[in-house]
Amino acid sequence: MEFNIRPVGKSCAKSGRQFRPGEFCWSVLVEKDGQLQRQDIAEDAWEGPPTGAIGHWRCQVTGVAETSRPKFDADSLFDYFLQLNDSPNIVQQQYRYVLALLLLRKRRLILEEVVTIDDRPTMRLVGSGGEGPFDVPEEELSEDQIDRLQQQLFDTGRSIAA
């Protein structure tokens, strides 16, 4: 079984104190409302794992990671998605597919069903605000194509932020 656990947090889940780079903390994995959640607890606040914890481990807080990638909110991504809605351009259709997957992950789009259109599996999506429906054909993309499309998204975000 594979888990996708977020990296160490910025502050202690018990005290709220901000972690300092290089200090050690304890991380614990718990189930809450059917979701796996990671909690990071400073060593001075650690009293052992809570009852029912799935796992716990000691880790070191790294320095603040500087990233050149822009952070997109779901509504900005959705606006990009809408702009590409009826584009006949193949690259833009691939880009729209990648945006749809991001919006599904951010719960801004909801998968209603998978249908077949022109012999291609197609996601029928609706917006969380009642928009749509939107039909997005599934794309078979290579790692290089995915990297290129992600880079386009980051470049677009930088030009908008500037």
User: What would the pLDDT profile of 5-42 be if each residue is shown by its tens digit?
Assistant: 778 888 999 999 999 988 999 999 888 887 788 999 99
β-pairing verdict for 55-60 and 35-42 = unpaired
Kindly give the residue spans of alpha helices, DSSP state H, lying in 84-139. Answer: 90-105
Closest of 8, 40, 36, 15 to residue 27, by C-alpha:
40
Of 35 and 125, the structure prediction assigns the larger pLDDT to: 125
CB proximity list for 35: less than 8 A, separation 6 or greater:
none
What's the pTM value of the predicted model, to 2 decimals? 0.53
In the numeric block, which tokens belong to residue 10? Answer: 């910025």
What is the band of 160 on the pLDDT scale with cuts at 50, 70, 90?
very low
